[in-house]
Structure 1
Amino acid sequence: MKKILITGAAGFLGSHLCDRFITEGFYVIGMDNLITGDLDNITHLFPLENFEFHHHDVTKFVHVSGKLDYILHFASPASPIDYLKIPIKTLKVGSLGTLNLLGLAKEKNARILVASTSEVYGDPLVHPQNEEYYGNVSPVGPRGVYDEAKRFMESITMAYHRHHGLETRIVRIFNTYGSRMRLNDGRVVPAFMGQALRGEDLTVFGDGSQTRSFCYIDDQVEGIYRLLFSDYAEPINIGNPHETTIKEFAEEIIALTGTNQKIIYKPLPKDDPSQRQPDITKAREILGWEPKVSRSEGLKIVYDYFKSLSPEELQKKEHRDFSSR
């Protein structure tokens, strides 16, 4: 049985990856310090013989006994609310955490896949964004703590690949949505879903003309799975290229929920990207991957998921205060 370590295992994306690799017959070690993760996302895995959980911060030395075949490094705050409240921890998990896990991969002779993000492109001057574009990022702006942490992650991962011959993979993740997301965490889908479920008006920043592209969780996991077992070491975009404006997307949510909310507008945050659309040519050609779930289909699944939760469960999905951590 192949053994895989998944960091950020109790998070939205990490928990779905745990599910996938369990289904594929792997022995899964989940690791999370639970600063933004939620154990409820993985408690269904605890009774399984091929799953174990380590409550650990990867910015500290990481030890796994015995053999280890693969590592997926997905430990990081991913929403603006989180990384703006815990900026130092965000920088540390992208730098020290990545360094620790690359060292572990080298020690175990394991293949490691690290989770980068479309935010390495910043507010792009190239559209759509392909992997050869170097980005337009402010290292000293408020979003720099996340953007630059991911850019450093990519740099040190490639250094280990080139200098040590380590088997590495880099996924650049574009906006992804699905069950287990925390409502109101600052990302577009859960923010709008949370407001719709509470009967509040939907908040759009700026004039709503900025664009995003949303990928359903099952498609994202499939792309990551294929990338891990590919022979390609350079970064690859995994996302849905179907682009929409934020205003149009808010109108979709209102139509989906059948409510009477209005759209209200607030000032655009500093360095908020005006466009976000992946060029997935490499994913199609190298991985044979492209998204299968349409946005209307995926949003219906997610809305039904949140509607099925009890008021107490919905309350737990609201964002927590990390400002003192």
Structure 2
Amino acid sequence: MVRLYDSQKRILVTGGAGFIGSHLIDRLLAQGHEIICADNLFTGTKRNIEHLLGHPRFEFLRHDVTFPLYVEVDEIYNLACPASPVHYQHDPVQTTKTSVLGAINMLGLAKRLKCKIFQASTSEVYGDPLVHPQPESYWGSVNPIGPRACYDEGKRCAETLFFDYHRMHRTEIKVVRLFNTYGPRMHHADGRVVSNFVVQALKGEPITIYGDGSQTRSFCYVDDVVDGCIRLMETGPEVTGPVNLGNPQEFTIRQLAQSVMAIVGRSADIVFKDLPQDDPRQRQPDAALAERLLHWQPSVSLQQGLEHTVDYFRIRLAELGIPAG
């Protein structure tokens, strides 16, 4: 059952035409809120929000968060930033600007409006971790001059800014660190491991694994992530985060490839390529804080989530005219 708020809120979601942002907007609209979606459509797409364009409580603004935005809202969710290596390494300077200047502009807006603001941070702040699983107290092992640093350090700096605004201006902040999220509306060519494997399997192509496939990830379905984000936003001012949101179940990349092939119903050759620089060997959240503070646990299994994701990509590839089984 969808729970309605006692009063409708006007909520800004930056990056709202993106993968996670569009799912978040769906949920917030279902709760009765009025939504402003701001996105420059660099990686987001109107396709993700086209079903909302005639909604009476939805407004789309094509806007780049590296520039100030002047709107009147009750809450802000800041999700604006390319999140896949293919996209964030395309223009690394712009990626850093999006994280840092975007945070400054959105925090400035929250300060002026005296409203609550949410930051979608990332497990990439832990880098290639020396602690496993990763608790929020771990400071990370990040290469500050590597090809991933534009994203890793940009998000780390954004967290710094959020906590400095909280300390200096008493801005009410909520910070989550999202681990590998997957599901419908992922971009078919974003270079992430789930979308790569699903698209390759559907097209009957060999599965590409970088490294030997023994590196691990923890995959969380997008519906579970959205639920955790909203739960954090609903907490009182004493809860700031950062809070890990991710599925604590750990899988090797080889296991993921085998699961995808089984669901698609095709066996495929596996092609191994060199591991990219600074690619983490292990990634698994310590989710105890989210369970304690938010009473949150992921509910969608990897099998269920992959089935939904495969169904989505079958349709999406057909729309793009790409032959798929």
Task: State the TM bucket, normalised to the shorter chain.
Answer: over 0.9
Q: Deviations over 1:276-313 (max 9, x none)?
A: 00000000000000000110011111111222346234
The 1-side partners of 2:197 and 2:10 are apart by: 38
Aligned match for 2:40, one of 33, 40, 43 = 33
2:20 and 2:222 in contact (8 A); partners too: yes
- Letter of the 1:17 counterpart: L
Q: Which residue of 1 aligns with 2:25?
A: 18
TM-score (norm 2): 0.95
The 1-side partners of 2:294 and 2:146 are apart by: 35
User: Number of matched residues?
Assistant: 313
- Letter of the 1:150 counterpart: K
Q: Does 1:125 align with 2:124?
A: no
Deviation at 1:235, TM superposition (A): 0.1
- Letter of the 1:233 counterpart: T
Residues 1:283 and 1:99: Cα distance change in structure 2 (over 3 Å): same
Deviation at 1:125, TM superposition (A): 0.2
Which aligned pairs between 1:285-300 and structure 2 lie closer than 5 A? 285-300=292-307
Q: Which residue of 1 aligns with 2:164?
A: 159
Q: Does 1:52 align with 2:59?
A: yes
Deviation at 1:198, TM superposition (A): 1.2
1:202 and 1:263 in contact (8 A); partners too: yes
- Letter of the 2:109 counterpart: L
The 1-side partners of 2:33 and 2:165 are apart by: 25
2:188 and 2:313 in contact (8 A); partners too: no
Secondary structure of 2:13's match?
A: strand
Unaligned runs of 5+ in 2: 1-7
- Letter of the 1:134 counterpart: W
Which aligned pairs between 1:82-231 and structure 2 lie closer than 5 A? 82-231=87-236
The 2-side partners of 1:5 and 1:309 are apart by: 28
Deviation at 1:234, TM superposition (A): 2.3
Unaligned runs of 5+ in 1: 316-325
Q: Deviations over 1:119-151 (max 9, x none)?
A: 000000000000000000001000000000000
1:110 and 1:167 in contact (8 A); partners too: yes
Secondary structure of 2:61's match?
A: strand
2:174 and 2:240 in contact (8 A); partners too: yes
- Letter of the 1:299 counterpart: L
Q: Does 1:278 align with 2:278?
A: no
Q: Which residue of 2 aligns with 1:323?
A: none
- Letter of the 1:162 counterpart: R
1:73 and 1:113 in contact (8 A); partners too: yes
Aligned match for 1:259, one of 246, 257, 266 = 266
Q: Deviations over 1:100-122 (max 9, x none)?
A: 00000011111000010000000
Secondary structure of 1:95's match?
A: helix
The 1-side partners of 2:188 and 2:319 are apart by: 13
Secondary structure of 1:85's match?
A: coil
Q: Which residue of 2 aligns with 1:70?
A: 75
Q: Does 1:9 align with 2:12?
A: no
The 2-side partners of 1:251 and 1:52 are apart by: 41
The 2-side partners of 1:207 and 1:184 are apart by: 22
Secondary structure of 2:89's match?
A: helix
Residues 1:219 and 1:314: Cα distance change in structure 2 (over 3 Å): farther
Q: Which residue of 1 aligns with 2:49?
A: 42
Q: Which residue of 2 aligns with 1:233?
A: 240
Residues 1:79 and 1:287: Cα distance change in structure 2 (over 3 Å): same
The 1-side partners of 2:91 and 2:198 are apart by: 24
1:306 and 1:314 in contact (8 A); partners too: no
1:62 and 1:100 in contact (8 A); partners too: yes
Residues 1:296 and 1:145: Cα distance change in structure 2 (over 3 Å): same
Q: Which residue of 1 aligns with 2:4?
A: none
The 2-side partners of 1:47 and 1:309 are apart by: 22
2:11 and 2:33 in contact (8 A); partners too: yes
Secondary structure of 2:223's match?
A: helix
- Letter of the 2:310 counterpart: Y
- Letter of the 1:307 counterpart: R
